[in-house]
Each structure stands twice: as structure tokens, then as C-alpha cells.
Amino acid sequence: MKQLKDKVVVVTGGAQGLGKAMCERFAYEGAEVVYSLDLQKGNLTADNVKHQELDVTNIAEIDSCIQSVKEAYGRIDVLVNNAGVTRDALTQKMDDNKWESVMDINLKGVFHMTKAIAPIMMENGSGSIINISSIVGLYGNIGQANYAATKAGVIGMSYTWAKEFTRKGAAVRTNVIAPGFIETDMMKTVPEKVLQPLRDQTPLKRLGRPEEVANAALFLASDESSYVNGHVLSVDGGLRL
Ligand code: NAD
């Protein structure tokens, strides 16, 4: 049976990488519609995937976009806060621009998307929110103080939402995926001399594939995870160990 039959799904940053893999998997699993909300269109081809241009830092744009989804479908069942960026530098060289831009997209973007969608889910009595954090949010990484702060912050917000959005009997679950290092465009800036030690340190001896994160997201999006709430699911080949 299709695991997301008739669900209305919103994925931020769905044009490429992990977001694209999730959009395609969710569409295949019978979602009525999967919205990719992204700065760019990408090449999503499934009939039930729709691209809507959105900058997750623009609160007014978020509100009108989510309102139009609500008007069209009456509900939103799944939200994946996936859009994210890196602007790496050692702390002493990290300027305010690098700090602010990562905060705005990775942390405030997640907050404002969720603020717009959670009330719709609560009104509907159910929903699944999945926030994409990172192994870096759990353990830190040299040159990524800004990124690590946002990805750790996302976990704190998720624990809060796992409590807040289940008040008054609403079954709105919030969970986190903490990927390790996955082969996407984001990793293209990382030199091979950094990637090879990462492969070597990973018990599975390779980087992850976007589809492997999409599989985990599918579990958390579907009713198969109906009693999973406030969980951080590492998808990292065991690298954290
Ligand atoms: P990616 O760079 O391939 O794709 C990110 C997508 O987000 C792009 O389509 C981009 O256009 C979109 N985006 C960026 N800023 C946006 C904005 N302001 N508004 C709307 N959309 C915006 O990245 P990815 O590797 O697929 O990463 C996806 C998520 O997974 C990110 O949150 C990232 O931090 C996280 N993550 C990635 C890895 C990895 O190894 N690739 C590891 C851990 C966590």
C-alpha cells in the first residue's frame, strides 16, 4: 500500500539534493500533492509535485504561500523543513553576514514555516513535521559555528514543538533527521582530502545517498511512525559513534 496516500505535503528546498529525493519519494508513495517551496525550480518531473517559488526568509511570502495551499487543499499533513545552507569560516574569520544568513535560512526559516503551518495541522487534528538537522548540530564541526548553532537550535525547537503541538489532543508530531555526510551539491565544495577521512571514519565506509535520507523521512511522514514524537533520527552510516 502507498504510505502517503492522499496526503498534502510541503517540502522546503525541494529543487535538488535531499529535498528533491524526498519530493520524488513522497510523490511515488501516493501523496495527493507535494509542494517544493524553493528559490529555484529544479527539474522535478512527477505529476503530483508542484514547484512554488519561495524564500524561507521572507515571512510575508511564507504566509501568503501557505494560505494559498490551504485554500487549494484545505489541509497540510506533512511539513519537511529541509532548506538549508552553509557559509563556512573559522570563528575568528566569520563575519556577521555569514552568521546572519545561515541563521535566517536554517533557523528562522524553520521557525516561520512551522509557525505558519502548525496551526493548520492542529486544526486538522494531525500532522507530521520533520526538521532536517545535521550530525554537525549534534557534535560540531570546525569552520561551522554558524551552521552548528542553527542545526542544534532546530533540535531544541523540535523538542518544544513535540510538546506544544500535541496539546488539546492534536496528534501533530515533530521529529528530526540528523544526516551525516550525504552526496549532494552541498558536499561539492568539500575537498576530497576532507571527504576521504569522513568515508574512512564511517562504519559503512561511504557517504550517504539522498534516497537514504528520503527513506527515513518517509517513515517519519507516514502513519507508520504514529507514536514517534520528539525523536532525532541519525542517518549517518554510524559516523557519530
Ligand atoms: P542543497 O544545497 O543541495 O539543496 C538545498 C536547497 O535549498 C536548494 O534547492 C536551494 O535552492 C534551497 N534553498 C536555499 N536557500 C533557500 C531559501 N532561502 N528559501 C528556499 N529554499 C532555499 O543541500 P542538501 O545537501 O540537499 O541539504 C538539504 C538539507 O539537509 C539542508 O538543511 C542541509 O543543511 C541538510 N544536511 C545536508 C547534509 C549533506 O551532507 N548534504 C548533511 C546534513 C544535513
For cell 515533530, name the residue: 174
pLDDT in tens, 136-163: 999 999 999 999 999 999 999 999 999 9
CA of 118 to the centre of ligand 1 (A): 22
| Whether pLDDT at 166 is above 90 | yes
Cell of 150: 542553527
Nearest residue (by CA) to ligand 1, atom 36, is 134
CA of 122 to the centre of ligand 1 (A): 27
Measure the CA–CA gap between 101 and 50, rounded to whole angstroms: 26
pLDDT in tens, 183-225: 999 888 889 999 999 999 999 999 999 999 999 999 999 999 9
Interval 19-47 mean pLDDT: 97
Taking the CA atoms of 173, 159, 216 and 11 in sequence, report the sign of the dihedral they define. Answer: positive
240 within some domain: no
* Helix %, strand %, coil % of the chain (to 5): 50, 20, 35
> β-strands 126-132, 8-12: how paired?
unpaired
ipTM of the complex: 0.99
Q: What pLDDT, on the 0 to 100 scale, is given for residue 61?
A: 98
Identify which of 37, 112, 184, 212 to mutate to test ligand 1's pocket (most ligand atoms within 8 A of the CB).
184
- At 11, which amino acid appears? V
1 within some domain: no
199 within some domain: yes
Pick from 164, 172, 177, 99: nearest CA to 137: 177
- Band of pLDDT at residue 21, cut at 50, 70 and 90: very high
CA of 26 to the centre of ligand 1 (A): 18
- Band of pLDDT at residue 1, cut at 50, 70 and 90: confident
Q: What pLDDT, on the 0 to 100 scale, is given for residue 148?
A: 98
- At 109, which amino acid appears? G
Structural domain span for residue 20: 8-235
Residues touching ligand 1 (Cβ under 6 Å) are 12-13, 15-19, 38-40, 54-57, 82-85, 105, 132, 134, 179, 181-182, 184-187
CA of 60 to the centre of ligand 1 (A): 21
222 within some domain: yes
Distances in Å between the alpha carbon of 39 and those of 20, 83, 188? Answer: 13, 10, 19
Cell of 126: 494531525
Q: What pLDDT, on the 0 to 100 scale, is given for residue 241?
A: 97
CA 19 to ligand 1: nearest atom: 26
pLDDT in tens, 69-128: 999 999 999 999 999 999 999 999 999 999 999 999 999 999 999 999 999 999 999 999
64 within some domain: yes
Cell of 156: 531544541
Nearest residue (by CA) to ligand 1, atom 31, is 84
Q: What pLDDT, on the 0 to 100 scale, is given for residue 142?
A: 96
241 within some domain: no
SS3 category, 7: coil
Residue 70 φ/ψ, nearest 5 degrees: -65, -40
CA of 97 to the centre of ligand 1 (A): 18
Are the CB atoms for 137 and 152 separated by under 8 Å? yes
Nearest residue (by CA) to ligand 1, atom 6, is 13
Identify which of 10, 39, 235 to mutate to test ligand 1's pocket (most ligand atoms within 8 A of the CB).
39
Nearest residue (by CA) to ligand 1, atom 26, is 17
Q: What pLDDT, on the 0 to 100 scale, is given for residue 150?
A: 99
Q: Where are the alpha helices (DSSP H) in the chain?
A: 17-28, 59-73, 96-102, 109-124, 135-139, 145-164, 192-201, 210-221
- The verdict on whether 147 is a catalytic residue reads yes
pLDDT in tens, 39-79: 999 999 999 999 999 999 999 999 999 999 999 999 999 99
2 within some domain: no
Structural domains in the chain (count)? 1
3 within some domain: no
Domain CATH for 31: 3.40.50.720
For cell 568515508, name the residue: 199
Burial of 114 by CB count in 10 Å (0-12 exposed, 13-18 middle, 19+ buried)?
buried
Pick from 141, 128, 123, 144: nearest CA to 176: 128
- Band of pLDDT at residue 133, cut at 50, 70 and 90: very high
Identify which of 38, 44, 181 to mutate to test ligand 1's pocket (most ligand atoms within 8 A of the CB).
38
SS3 category, 161: helix
